[in-house]
Every structure is written in structure tokens, then in C-alpha cells.
Structure 1
Amino acid sequence: MGSHSESILDTIPGLELWQFYGPSTRKGDRIYLHLLMKPYETISVRGIPIKQVKSVFVLADGTALTYTSRCAIIDSILNSNPLGELTIDVPESVINPYVTVICIDIDS
């Protein structure tokens, strides 16, 4: 709880099951992804406003994570704020043996 309490206390349920395959919570404009199993280099998050993503980082130590985004071409043409998919790189060096919590900050 010491390094992850922010992602648990005073939060609401996060993403739908189809958006992220694992537990998630939310507080304001921050989404918390709880990685209970070791990921294979990357994780995917679907159905989020990709142009509003401000930052992605590890909650425990603030390590910034690189990510890429994509959406359907027609959505990028017709919608100024399309929903799409984030692919987040999760290097071995940030993995906690019990749980790794990743934060996504969304600009509202």
C-alpha cells in the first residue's frame, strides 16, 4: 500500500473489460492500470481519447514510459478527438514482482 495507495483509496472503477485486460481504477483525470501479471514488453489500452493523453508513468517511482497511439484513419479525419488505442512499453526494469501500477494522465 505504501507506494500504490493513491491508485486504490478514494478511486472509482476505471476502464471497461474490453479496454484493458486487468483491473483498473480512476481518480479525476488519472487512470491507474494494475498489472498483476508480468506483461510481455507492452500493454494495450483501447477506447481512450488518444490526443488527450498527457503522460504515462509508473506510480511507484514516477518513471516515464514511452507509448504509441493509433486510431482508425476515418476517425482521425472526421473526429478532432478520436478514441483509439495506446500501446505502452513496459521495460523489465520497472516491473514489481507483486504488482506494477501504471498511470495515464488525460488532459480534460
Structure 2
Amino acid sequence: LCSLQARIAGYALSGGGRGIERVDVSADGGKTWVEARRYQKDNVAYVSDGPQSDKWAWVLFEATLDVPANPEIVVKAVDSAANVQPEKVEDIWNLRGILNTSWHRIKIQRSSCVERSKL
């Protein structure tokens, strides 16, 4: 990654017929958060209790973040019952490794860009 900004996109889902109320994205390992924009259908804002809502379906999200040097991108979701994903996999670890719903983390390196014409 050589840009000072990054577009982070993905999907979130909840269980038990609960909708996704919020998706938060961080570029600094979870110290500061930005609320992502949520979509359910093409360019239609998502509302978990709206009449067109498919609460059981994936909710697409995206956010554009300022990226510090050597960022750790973190994503967490909150459902309509105010359930928040656990921060660490250690908090929910089990022998088979199933039902891991902890924060999603990706460490990336930001490099300096060189103009292609100079290569």
C-alpha cells in the first residue's frame, strides 16, 4: 500500500434474525474508529428494521481511512441487540476453532511510491 488513504470494504452478518446496526473500522489497531457506510442492495442505505431489510442477509460496508505508517486495519460489527464482536480470539477460543467472531485484523505496510515513468 503506498497511498495515504485506503478503501476498506467487506461484509458483516449477525445471527438470530438480528440486523447489523453498525460496522466500525480502524487503521490504528482499534485506538480510533470510523463508522463504515452500510449497504444491503446496490447504493441503498441499510436500516436493520426497515421494511425492505433482509436482516438475515450479509450487509456490505465500506469506509475510506487515513492510513498511518505500518497500519493495522481492524473491523468490528454491532448487531441490533447491541452485541459487539469480541476483541480477541483468545476470549472465545475453542479446540475446534469454530464460531470465531473476533475482530478482523490485517497488518499492512505502507511503502513509498515511485513513479512508473522513473522505473
Give your verdict on TM over 0.5.
no
Q: Output the TM-score relative to the length of structure 1.
A: 0.43
Larger radius of gyration: 2
Q: Output the TM-score relative to the length of structure 2.
A: 0.40
Which structure's residues are more often helix, by fraction?
1
